[in-house]
Amino acid sequence: MTTTPQRLGFIGLGIMGTPMAGHLIAAGHRVFVATRSTAPAALTDAGANVCTSAQDVAQQADTIFLMLPDTPDVAKVLFGDNGLAAGLTAGKTVVDMSSISPMETKVFAQKINALGCDYLDAPVSGGEVGAKAASLTIMVGGPQAAFDRVKPLFELMGKNITLVGGNGDGQTCKVANQIIVALNIAAVGEALLFASKAGADPAKVRAALMGGFASSRILEVHGERMIKRTFNPGFRIKLHQKDLGLAMQGARELGLALPQTASAVQLMQVCAANGMADLDHSALVKALELMGHHEVASA
């Protein structure tokens, strides 16, 4: 895709942010970056301009992307010392692609709007694989005009890009996504554990299920991880715990009961309590295995 070269900012160069910023640079944009640690050589070698603070990024760029771990991190980058807000001038756009609180997002948007700038919340799904392949699903909240303006940039990072509604609605959509993913991981884990303990070959059970109504992306990707015991992180348990915490917080505020989500929260907590918080979220199956005294792959 060809876009007119722009001055862009990218703050947060972790597992996800580094390849996402790389796609923007590869498309010919001038990208100003900031991170808590050393900027990855892959980006600096490609031409990224390293800034010393979020304020510096805001002064240099017209559209600034954030990809940070949690709500407090976004708040600090936006409004802390030498934060983004201190360097913004009217007409610029802030795009938060982190997965954070929908409620706090609305507050952040109001504060950025008061500076004469647009704000989009645009969390993603697809993990490290999707970030590297530029195939992320991007769920956006904010004004239509800002979305239309930024969409060509989103298309450099993702495939399924949807304006869900106003500010906060993108984050709400991401929380809903994380509920579905967590419950599917738990379901696949229980199914493969059951099959394995009963003496069936879990790999062959998974292959059979992939051709039926139980087929899913989770069964395909994470089911294979469970069988092959490849739990190196694409998306860490502790980050999914954070997202499910947002779901439970929102449920309390909305007067909802989310019993299956609460169960998934506890399974992830079992993993975290046993030193597995930095494993991929497919390792949720390990909590089930601990309770069943059996591993999926030991059929």
User: Is 174 a catalytic site residue?
Assistant: yes
Q: What residues have CB less than 8 Å from 195, skipping those under 6 apart? A: 202, 205, 299
Given the residues 76, 92, 132, 174, the one annotated as active site: 174
**Cβ pair 90, 36 in contact under 8 A:** no
**Cβ pair 122, 93 in contact under 8 A:** no
Distances (CA, A) of 116 to 67, 86, 97, 142: 22, 13, 20, 14
Burial status of residue 216 (CB atoms within 10 A of its CB: 0-12, 13-18, 19 or more): middle
Looking at the chain, the number of H-run helices and the number of E-run strands are 14, 9
Catalytic residues: 174
